[in-house]
């Protein structure tokens, strides 16, 4: 990397180098790129033999640095001499006055050195700002302190007789103001009785009169000697904090602006510090000079070397052995060791290591970026500038970090454990200790092998049919009912809307259990159906809950009715928001009722409800309660579904029976992963095709 003859500041301006040795070397390096042959060899020889420490500029710079060190070393003596000559008692005024004297002294010291180095120029500019602004801050604080002392003395001088007289005057004013308020309200009531104003206007005018009286009384109360002088003391104290802080923010902002416009010259060409310090986050920031930022990264270092790495090695585990336990799964372990505990703690160890890597990477990237900027000529941020950046660009990350960490442990951890279990032989015979089996569970599922994988494709087919039929029926019923109730010719809309919302208002499990009883072999609905069909022979009588398609059809119809209320409410709200102007324009163009519904109502409904409708399909795909409560997944056909599932079981209820009832956690987790990935893909495709998801206009 070439030094070049210029450096760049933080706002992109180019500045000529003041470091004469680096400038000469940069000029030679530029000539080297443009030359060849003997001239190139001569330049290379000159670069190798260029003096470093003996260079005249380096000698002058070292002398200036020594003088600066000696001058700054005497700062404490100048401070003590300043303190002895200050008469102010306030510690901040004493501190700022000494700071002002010191900045004036430094201003005189750095002025002759401005052309030698950008560091000296920056020091001069910073002290020039302090010498200009500190007298304003000191004068403002001194003025406010004098006002505060005067206000406190004025407050303590309030006599009891003066306060009592003022209080009597206030009480008399309050009485008179309430009387005038009552008279004003009576006049307003007379206008109402005469029919000059409406009832609504009567209420508004009376409230206005009462508020006006309350505000007048409160204003008068604040003018009492004691409250007024207390308010003055509080106001001055507030100004002491707010006004002074505001002035200091202006000073820091001005200094920051100067730093951005003043480049820096460093001898370093490569960001090697970030490479050397990356194992210890915070060390690079500390060596660069960003102490406050280094403190926060050092906290990350403590987490890495006192928590993450020890935990991944098994230190502090409840039963597991960190990463090693995740690999071994308690194989050949103690009798009380359980593979699932080893797996969970292993996953936690992996999460800790990922977080540790992120901390290391963030620290490395921060140090490397700062080094590259300094090599280019841009100064590192001070603490004020760092805080401004964090409040701006970093604010979303700071606010989101706690929620993100919580999400990792309550969402990603269970998902990761479920995914890993799907690659094991976790079943009834391997509850305490199980082992890795690779893709055996997935192979059994896709090939339909084994007692658990055999019924998978039959259940998958029924789940797809159920999802499409039940959800589509619910959407159709809700949409049609919403259209009917929204017609202007329909009367009693409140009654119908209440009736259509009952399936949603009544707890779903009550409705499901009710219809389960009604369709039992001796239930009323079963009896009515048999009578309608003329089935009198017991062998020919219809039994819904003991026939596969009978149960399935009832489930679809039942879910269609239960789910229609939500769609009805959703569509009703949207229909009421469609402007009538659209329909009037359509009627003028000759569109009839069906055409208006097709080209106006349906597109608007689909645009606004498509994402929610897709969510309904996803919900019904995993609708466990209706299957479990109505018939427990039955009727059962062991020849087709084995002993693990029934003919009306969905994949979600099938997974429940596999994992909770039969303890086949391994293959149950594999099915869970397949279902989850399938739902994610289908939902993503559905959202991707909707106009509302693509943020298109209607």
Closest CA to 65 of 102, 16, 120, 115: 120
If DSSP states are collapsed to H, E and C, what string results for 574-610? Answer: HHHHCCHHHHHHHHHCCCCHHHHHHHHHHHHHHHHHH
Q: Could you give the CA distance from residue 236 to residue 151 in angstroms, rounded to a whole number?
A: 9
Q: Could you give the CA distance from residue 518 to residue 511 in angstroms, rounded to a whole number?
A: 10
Q: Is 180 helix (H, G, I), strand (E, B) or coil?
A: helix
Q: What is the pLDDT of residue 698?
A: 47
Six-digit token pair at 644?
Answer: 């693990």
**pTM, entire model:** 0.81
Maximum pairwise Cα distance, the chain: 120
> Is the Cα dihedral 372, 373, 376, 377 positive or negative?
negative
Rounded to whole angstroms, what are the CA distances from 66 to 53, 296, 514, 599? Answer: 15, 34, 94, 85
If DSSP states are collapsed to H, E and C, what string results for 364-386? Answer: HHHHHHHHHHHHHCCCCCCHHHH
Q: What is the pLDDT of residue 494?
A: 80
The list of the chain residues with pLDDT below 50 reads 697-698
Model confidence over 427-479: pLDDT tens digits?
989 889 999 999 999 999 988 887 777 788 999 999 999 999 999 999 999 88
Rounded to whole angstroms, what are the CA distances from 143 to 92, 153, 168, 236? Answer: 13, 15, 35, 10
Residues whose CB is less than 8 angstroms from the CB of residue 643 and which lie 6 or more positions away in sequence, other chains included: 451
Rounded to whole angstroms, what are the CA distances from 218 to 174, 215, 227, 234? Answer: 9, 5, 11, 18
Q: What is the pLDDT of residue 248?
A: 93
Task: Say if residues 375 and 269 touch (Cβ distance below 8 Å).
Answer: yes
Q: Any alpha helices (H) in 111-224, and if so which ranges?
A: 118-156, 160-193, 199-222
Q: Is 170 helix (H, G, I), strand (E, B) or coil?
A: helix
Task: Say if residues 6 and 378 touch (Cβ distance below 8 Å).
Answer: no
Q: What is the pLDDT of residue 643?
A: 82
């Amino acid at each position: 990397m070439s030094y070049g003859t210029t450096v760049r500041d933080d706002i992109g301006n180019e500045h000529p180098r003041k470091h004469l040795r680096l400038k000469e070397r940069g000029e030679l390096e530029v000539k080297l790129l443009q030359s060849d042959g003997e001239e190139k060899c001569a330049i290379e020889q000159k670069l190798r033999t260029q003096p470093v420490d003996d260079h005249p500029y380096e000698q002058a710079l070292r002398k200036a640095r020594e003088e600066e060190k000696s001058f700054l070393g005497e700062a404490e003596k100048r401070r003590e001499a300043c303190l002895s000559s200050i008469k102010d008692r306030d510690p901040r005024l004493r501190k700022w006055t000494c700071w002002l004297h010191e900045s004036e002294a430094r201003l005189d010291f750095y002025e002759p050195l401005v052309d030698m180095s950008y560091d000296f120029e920056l020091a001069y500019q910073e002290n020039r700002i302090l010498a200009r602004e500190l007298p304003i801050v000191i004068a403002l604080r001194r003025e406010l302190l004098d006002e505060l002392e005067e206000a406190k003395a004025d407050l303590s001088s309030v006599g009891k007789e003066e306060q009592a007289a003022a209080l009597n005057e206030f009480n008399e004013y309050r009485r008179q103001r309430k009387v005038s308020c009552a008279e004003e309200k009576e006049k307003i009531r007379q206008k109402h009785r005469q029919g000059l104003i409406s009832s609504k206007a009567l209420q508004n005018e009376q409230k206005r009169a009462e508020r006006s009286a309350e505000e007048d009384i409160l204003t008068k109360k604040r003018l009492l000697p004691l409250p007024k002088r207390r308010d003055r003391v509080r106001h001055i104290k507030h100004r002491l904090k707010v006004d002074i802080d505001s002035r200091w923010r202006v000073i820091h902002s001005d200094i920051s602006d100067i730093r951005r416009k003043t480049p820096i010259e460093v001898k370093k060409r490569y960001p090697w510090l970030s490479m050397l310090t990356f194992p210890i986050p915070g060390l690079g920031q500390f060596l660069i000079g960003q102490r406050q930022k280094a403190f926060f990264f050092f906290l990350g270092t403590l987490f890495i070397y006192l928590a993450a790495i020890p935990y991944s090695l098994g230190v502090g585990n409840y039963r597991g052995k960190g990463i090693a336990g995740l690999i071994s799964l308690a194989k050949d372990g103690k009798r009380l060791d359980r593979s699932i505990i080893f797996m969970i703690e292993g996953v936690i160890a992996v999460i800790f290591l990922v977080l540790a890597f992120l901390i290391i990477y963030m620290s490395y990237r921060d140090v490397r970026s700062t080094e590259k900027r300094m090599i280019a000529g841009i100064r590192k941020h001070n603490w004020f500038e760092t805080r401004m950046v964090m409040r701006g660009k970093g604010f979303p990350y700071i606010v989101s970090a706690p929620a993100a960490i919580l999400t990792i442990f309550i969402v990603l951890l269970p998902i990761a454990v479920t995914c890993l279990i799907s690659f094991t032989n976790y079943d009834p015979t391997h509850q305490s200790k199980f082992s890795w089996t690779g893709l055996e569970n997935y192979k059994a599922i896709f090939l339909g092998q084994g007692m658990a994988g055999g019924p998978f494709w039959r259940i998958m087919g029924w789940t797809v049919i159920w999802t499409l039929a039940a959800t589509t029926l619910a959407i159709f019923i809700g949409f049609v009912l919403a259209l009917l109730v929204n017609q202007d010719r329909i009367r009693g809309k409140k009654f119908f809307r209440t009736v259509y919302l009952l399936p949603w208002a009544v707890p779903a499990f009550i409705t499901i259990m009710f219809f389960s009883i009604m369709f039992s072999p001796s239930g009323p609905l079963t009896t009515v159906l048999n009578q309608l069909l003329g089935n009198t022979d017991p062998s020919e009588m219809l039994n819904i809950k003991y026939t596969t398609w009978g149960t399935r059809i009832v489930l679809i119809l039942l879910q269609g009715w239960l789910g229609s209320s939500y769609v009805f409410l959703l569509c009703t709200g949207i229909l009421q928001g469609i402007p009538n102007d659209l329909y009037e324009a359509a009627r003028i163009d000759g569109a009839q009722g069906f055409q208006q519904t097709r080209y106006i109502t349906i597109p608007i409904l689909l645009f606004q409800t498509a994402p929610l409708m897709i969510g309904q399909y996803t919900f019904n795909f995993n609708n466990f309660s209706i299957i479990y409560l109505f018939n427990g997944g039955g009727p059962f056909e062991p020849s087709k579904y084995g002993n693990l599932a029934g003919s009306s079981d969905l994949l979600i209820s099938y997974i429940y029976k596999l994992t909770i009832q039969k303890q086949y956690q391994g293959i149950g987790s594999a099915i869970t992963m397949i279902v989850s990935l399938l739902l994610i893909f289908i939902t993503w495709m559905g959202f991707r095709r909707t106009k509302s998801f693509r943020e298109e206009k209607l």
